[in-house]
Structure 1
C-alpha cells in the first residue's frame, strides 16, 4: 500500500555511498472498499393470520331490537360490515376463521334495560350476518357492553361543553353505580345533557366488528411478485425475502421488494434493516438513516450503521459500530473495525 523509491550508489570497490529514500505514494491514498451490505432473512410465519375491524352505527327504533335496513342511515352502516366481510370472503386465497361483534348501548336509561338492549340488538346483527353468508355459526360470535361509558369519557375529554370537566369527573367515577352517574349528569347539568343526548349518545350506540382470517402461503417468487403488485398485505416478510432473492441485487425491482416490505411492516426491525440496505445500495443515504432508526439493536443493525458511516466518510463512527457488531457476535465486523480504524489513523497522521 506504499510505494517507496530507494537510491544507493556504489563505487568500483563496492563501497556504499549514501542511502536515499522517497515515499512516492503514501498509505493515506489507500481507500478501503465499502463493506458488503447485509440482508437478513426474516422469521417465517407458521400461519398468516390477519384481521380487519371497524365500527357500524346501526339505528334501532326506541326500545326495539329488530333491524330495519332502510331505517335512518342503516343501509350505509350495514354496508360497512358487508363490505369488510366481502373483501376477504371473495378471495380464494383467504379463509375466514372468526367474526366477532360487540354491541354498545348509551348511558341513557337504566343499566338493566341497556344490558338487554345491547345484548339483543347485537344478537340480531349476528343473525343478519348468518342469513347473508353461509358461515359456520360457531365462528360468528358476539358480546355486549351495556353502556358505552368509555366512549363518553373520550368524547368529554375533547368536548367544549361549559361543564365538560365536571361531567367528566362524574363519568370517570367507576365506584359509583352507572345509573347514579347518569342521574347526576342529567340533574346538575341539564343543558349540557341535552347536547350530549343529541350529539354523542347516538354515536355511543354502536357495534364494533372484527373479521379474522388466514391467508395461504406462497413459495413461487413469480407468484409472490404478482401478488405484491396488487395485494402486498397478503404477503409475509419471509415471502418478500424469497422474492427479493430471485432478483438481481441492487436492481430497481430488487429495491422495490424491500421498500414495499418495509411499508407493509413499518415497525418490523428486519424489514427496516433490509430496506436500509436497499437504500444504501442505491445511494439514498437519507432514507437509510430513517430506516436504520427503526432497525433495532442487533449485530446486523449495528454493522449496517457502520456501513452507512463509511459511506458518509465518518470512519471513526464506522469503527465504533463495527466493534459493537463484533461484540454481539458478527465475526466479519471485527475485520472491518480493524481496517477502518487503521485507515482513520492514517488520515489523522497525514
Structure 2
C-alpha cells in the first residue's frame, strides 16, 4: 500500500454495530450461524472500501464488545472480554490486518445502554425501572430489585426485548485517505463513495451541466452518504427539481424544513407545484436568510396571485 505524508491525508472513520450469534457457551465467531453472514457483511462494507489499493491507509480498528446485565457480573465480564478478543482475531485473520492496529475493549454489563433503551422505547414500567437503576449500585442488589419489580413481569420483558439489543460489538474503522483530484473522485463516486468527502463529491458535480441525470446522481449520492447534512439535502432537492422530480425534492426538504437554509427552496418547490400563495409564505420567512434571492422570488410569487 502506498504511503503519503500526513499533511496530504485526511483522517476519517466509520462505525457500525454488529449482533453476532454464538452457540451456547462459545466465544468464537461462527460465520454460518443464524444471521451471522449478514452481520459480517457489515464488516465488508466498512473495511473493503478502506482497503482499496492506492487511496487509503488503515490507521486503527476499535472493537468493543458489550454484554447484557442479566446473570453473574464476573461471567458477563469474562464473556464480553473473550468475545471482543476473538472477534478482533477473526477480523485480523479474515482481512490480513496486523494485530497492532486493533484496540480491543469490552463492557461487562451495559447498564447505560439499558437506560437509553428504556428512555427510547418507554415501556409501561420504564420510570420504575430507571428509578431502580439510578438508586441501586451494580453490586448493591440492582438486578435483584429489577427482577422483583411488579412481580417480575418487566424483567421478563427486558430479557426478551431489550437485553438482546445490548449484546453487541461496536466496530470502528479509522483511516487516512489522501486528497483526491476531481478526476479520481469522479471515478470513485460510483465505486467507493464512502471514501469521498462532500467537497470531493461536489467537485465531481462541477463536471456536469445542471439538469442532467449525472448532475442529479452526484447530489443524490451525496445526500445518501451524508443524510444529516442540511446543505446536502437542500442541494439534492435543487438537483432533482431541475429534472422535474418534485416528489423526491419533497423527500429531501421535509427532512430539513425547520432549518432556515431550506426555506427559499421550499418556496420554489411550491411555486413549481402551482401554489404561489404557499410559496410566498416560505419566501417571507427566507427574507432574513437570503434577502436578495427571497425578495425576488416573493415578488414573483405575489405577482402570480394578483
TM-score (norm 1): 0.61
Match of 1:228 in 2: 189
Unaligned runs of 5+ in 2: 1-8
For the residues of structure 1 that align with 2:158 and 2:257, how far apart are their CA atoms?
46
- CA offset at residue 51 of structure 1? 0.6
Cα pair distance change 1:115/1:311, threshold 3 Å: closer
Tell me, what secondary structure is at the counterpart of 2:190? helix
Tell me, what secondary structure is at the counterpart of 1:248? coil
Q: Are the counterparts in 1 of residues 205 and 218 from structure 2 also a CA contact under 8 Å?
A: yes
Cα pair distance change 1:172/1:217, threshold 3 Å: farther
Q: Specify which of 30, 50, 54 is matched with residue 17 of structure 2.
A: 54
- Equivalence map 1:98-177=2 (5 Å): 98-107=60-69, 110-112=72-74, 114-119=76-81, 122-123=84-85, 125-126=87-88, 133-135=96-98, 137=100, 139-149=101-111, 169=129, 172-177=132-137
Match of 1:337 in 2: 298
Q: Are the counterparts in 1 of residues 211 and 242 from structure 2 also a CA contact under 8 Å?
A: yes
Match of 1:242 in 2: 203
For the residues of structure 1 that align with 2:154 and 2:252, how far apart are their CA atoms?
48
**Bigger radius of gyration among the two:** 1
Q: Are the counterparts in 1 of residues 263 and 283 from structure 2 also a CA contact under 8 Å?
A: yes
Unaligned runs of 5+ in 1: 1-45, 159-163
2:262 aligned with 1:308: no
Q: Are the counterparts in 1 of residues 20 and 36 from structure 2 also a CA contact under 8 Å?
A: no
- CA offset at residue 308 of structure 1? 2.5
Tell me, what secondary structure is at the counterpart of 1:173? helix
- Equivalence map 1:1-350=2 (5 Å): 47=10, 49-57=12-20, 59=22, 73=33, 76=36, 80=40, 83=44, 86-88=47-49, 90-92=51-53, 93-107=55-69, 110-112=72-74, 114-119=76-81, 122-123=84-85, 125-126=87-88, 133-135=96-98, 137=100, 139-149=101-111, 169=129, 172-178=132-138, 180-183=141-144, 206-221=168-183, 223-296=184-257, 301-341=262-302, 343-344=303-304, 348=306
Match of 1:12 in 2: none
For the residues of structure 1 that align with 2:161 and 2:294, how far apart are their CA atoms?
62
Tell me, what secondary structure is at the counterpart of 1:147? coil
Residues 237-265 of structure 1: CA distance to partner in whole angstroms, max 9, x if unpaired?
Answer: 22222222211221222222222322332
For the residues of structure 2 that align with 1:191 and 1:298, how far apart are their CA atoms?
44
For the residues of structure 2 that align with 1:87 and 1:224, how far apart are their CA atoms?
17
For the residues of structure 1 that align with 2:156 and 2:288, how far apart are their CA atoms?
66
Tell me, what secondary structure is at the counterpart of 1:230? coil
- CA offset at residue 287 of structure 1? 2.7
TM-score (norm 2): 0.68
Residues 53-103 of structure 1: CA distance to partner in whole angstroms, max 9, x if unpaired?
Answer: 2325374885x9xx65679949958x9286466524531223222212223
Cα pair distance change 1:331/1:127, threshold 3 Å: same
Tell me, what secondary structure is at the counterpart of 2:172? strand
Number of positions where the alignment pairs a residue of Structure 1 with one of Structure 2 = 292
